[in-house]
Amino acid sequence: MNIKKPTIMMIGLLLLTPFSIPSQVDAASSTFVTKGTTTQKVVALTFDDGSDGTNIAKILSILKSNQVKATFFLTGSGAANHPQSIKNITTASPTHQIGNHSYSHPDFTTLTASQMTSELSRTESLIRSLTGKTTKPIFRAPFGASNSKVLSAVGAAGYTKTIQWNIDTTDWKGISSTAILDRVLPKVVPGSIILMHTGAGAKGTPTALPTMISKLKAKGYSFVTISELLRSSTSTGTTYTVKAGDTLYSIARKYNVSVSALASANNITNWNLLNVGQVLKIPTTTYTVKAGDTLYSIATRYGVTVTALMQANGITNPNLLLIGQVLKIPN
């Protein structure tokens, strides 16, 4: 995989730098994600669906009985072969997320941009016709094969996130449920993305899944979709003690965070229930610098001052940012 090193950019000089990448290309490129950048104990279970989808019904049943969300990366060939199973994924409870995994599962690094676009659009059209739902904005490359050319093409097609994983169960090899658990449980960290499959070859997955869920719950982990994981990419430092008259909304507004982020950071399921004296963790949002960004544009976007943004990130030169640099957004 071809990953470019962060490029230093000077405010006002970016377009004059001969080695900088044009901003329109970067804007179109998909972001490559291997795990969530969060301190919260959340995990994303992901399932790649191929042409047979043998275990979809079993997986959905296990997820439902444990009230666990997951993300399914769908292929067009799979949707053509088992359309009802695809519909069942999108109507299941709790609500799962779907993403695009190509139509015929080719190695995208061997395709032209137009071929990649065709693979994505054919799958998107078929999934939309079956379910009324979109696979955007998340894509998973077949075989995990990706490079800058792939990221540019899929980003231009509307897939802003290319989702890899940091834990590969290798369940497709037909390994036992015990072997799957041994590959997952010791390696899970906050923000982990776990790769599994729905096909018949992954025969150990339905057996491993209930134990995986129960043991991770016992360790304090909760389960989120990929989009929820990306939204939870925060760190927590500030706390607030609930006072009489406070509501989750008023506290969220005070610290310029969303109610859902505040609830998630504190494992609150009933947004109307707060206790006086309760100590809440205030999530601090992070932002990844892109080509063309300035401290002023980022500060304006989040409603904070440039000075506060610099202090929160230990920045002494306001004219120097790195593409790919992760900034903490102060409350």
Take residue 279 and report the two structure tokens written for it: 């100590």
CA–CA separation, 221 vs 243, rounded Å? Answer: 29
Of the residues 48, 49, 171, 293, which is catalytic?
48
Q: Assess whether 96 carries a catalytic annotation.
A: no
Q: Assess whether 48 carries a catalytic annotation.
A: yes
Checking DSSP bridges between strand 279-288 and strand 234-241, what pairing results, if any? antiparallel
Of the residues 82, 96, 101, 197, which is catalytic?
197
Strands (E), the chain: 8-10, 31-33, 42-48, 71-74, 97-100, 138-139, 161-163, 167-168, 192-197, 222-223, 234-241, 279-288, 320-322, 326-328
- The secondary structure of 257-297 as a DSSP string is --HHHHHHHTT-S-TT---TT-EEEEEEEEEE--TT--HHH
Which residue numbers are catalytic?
Answer: 48, 197
